[in-house]
Amino acid sequence: MSKRDYYEVLGVAKDASDAELKKAYRRLAMKHHPDRNPDDAKAEDKFKEVKEAYEILSDAQKRGAYDQFGHAGVDPSAGGGGAGAGDFGDIFGDIFGDIFGGGGGGRRRGPQQSRGADLSYTLDLKLEDAVKGTEVQIKVPTLVPCEPCDASGAKPGTSPVECSMCGGVGQVRMQQGFFSVQQTCPTCHGKGRMISDPCTACRGRGRIEEEKTLSVKIPAGVDTGDRIRLAGEGEAGAGGTPSGDLYVQMSVRDHSLFKRDGKHLYCDVPISFSDAAVGGDIEVPTLDGRVKLKIPAETQTGKLFRLRGKGVAPVRGGSTGDLICHVVIETPVHLNKKQKDLLRDFHDSLDEAKHAPKKQSWFDNVKTFFN
């Protein structure tokens, strides 16, 4: 291997800081890696040279010996601990470790443990319960820790043993050509421990299926799409690790009288022809009971009446919404002969221009359109 000056190999000054050394090393290691230069026969030698230079200069003791005695101070045959061909898996751990939050590729890592899975439950709610709030009992099928083995999966009185394949770290290193690849242990599946005598209750899984009943408080004002998080009420984690969370998703049913739009409620209110013409008082429903609504004379169909504060108090705070009543004038049906005659006489007595101005205006516009 070339014995060029290590500072020259990395392209840095002799007083370069650790950060400058690492930056130069990363750049050159990526540039000369054989896998990125398949047609360059010298790429591997350059790569090894860069690695050797960095391993010496990044170690304070070796760097001091090199600065004082040169290559002789770090010659392996002289006990200086010089670098050899190296492990490409370690190189990539050094290059990418800081970027992805991992450590060096050569470090022993512990068994891969994670908490249990999160669960989702859709709760069907009546509009009244969603607006006013309520408390409900739900039954959720889930995995819970096995009590007989205390979630270990091993038969009571016994314990899991260290995996002989990975030595309890949950990962093994596989050599593939120039690369050393670290992967989950295929024997213990990343747990680091093996169960030789499994618990009969959970068959070695450490968890059992169970349907648990939970009490859920629904705050006033929730709507479809809102969800409540119940921490730790999801599936139990494997090997006694923490449980996941349960997310209760709200789904509010359609109501026979009201439609909801945010914090406001809407309601169709049918009124008679006579009430619309001469006015009157009618009762309309709200979620708090019935209230009287005054219909003024000459009310037209489609008129909106707003009852303030009779809507929904938003779950995230803010002013209470309104109940908006949409008036629909109902045409009389099943009339007898006398009633029909009275209506005809009434119609004949009307002056269209005076008593039906919208109708007269509409017909005038029709005539203008066709002419």
Q: Which residues contact 113 (CB under 8 A, 6 or more apart)?
A: 191, 237, 238, 239, 241
Check if the beta carbon of residue 172 is closer than 8 Å to that of residue 108: no
The residue among 293, 146, 161, 138 whose CA lies nearest residue 206 is: 146
Q: What is the pLDDT of residue 268?
A: 94
d(CA 317, CA 223): 13
| Confidence band for 180, pLDDT divided at 50, 70 and 90 | low
Q: What is the pLDDT of residue 328?
A: 93
Q: What is the 3-state secondary structure (H, E, C) of 122-162?
A: EEEECHHHHHHCEEEEEEEEEEEECCCCCCCCECCCCCCEE
Rounded to 10°, the helix 43-57/18-32 angle is: 170
Give per-residue pLDDT as tens, 278-314: 998 999 999 989 999 999 998 988 999 999 999 999 9
Domains of the chain and CATH, by start: 6-100 (1.10.287.110), 115-156+199-253 (2.60.260.20), 255-331 (2.60.260.20), 337-371 (no CATH)
3-state secondary structure (DSSP) of residue 175: strand
Residues of the chain above pLDDT 90, percent? 30
Residue 97 has pLDDT above 70, yes or no: no
d(CA 75, CA 80): 5
The residue among 257, 300, 292, 304 whose CA lies nearest residue 275 is: 300
Residue 112 has pLDDT above 70, yes or no: no
b (16+ CB within 10 A) / e for 266-302: bbebebeeebbeeebeeebebbeeeeebebeeebeee
| Confidence band for 172, pLDDT divided at 50, 70 and 90 | confident
Say which amino acid occupies 356. Answer: A
Give per-residue pLDDT as tens, 66-94: 787 777 777 655 443 444 334 444 444 44
Give per-residue pLDDT as tens, 236-246: 877 667 888 99
d(CA 310, CA 320): 8
Q: What is the pLDDT of residue 367?
A: 79
pTM: 0.55
Cα atoms in the Cβ-side hemisphere of radius 13 Å centred on 346: 11
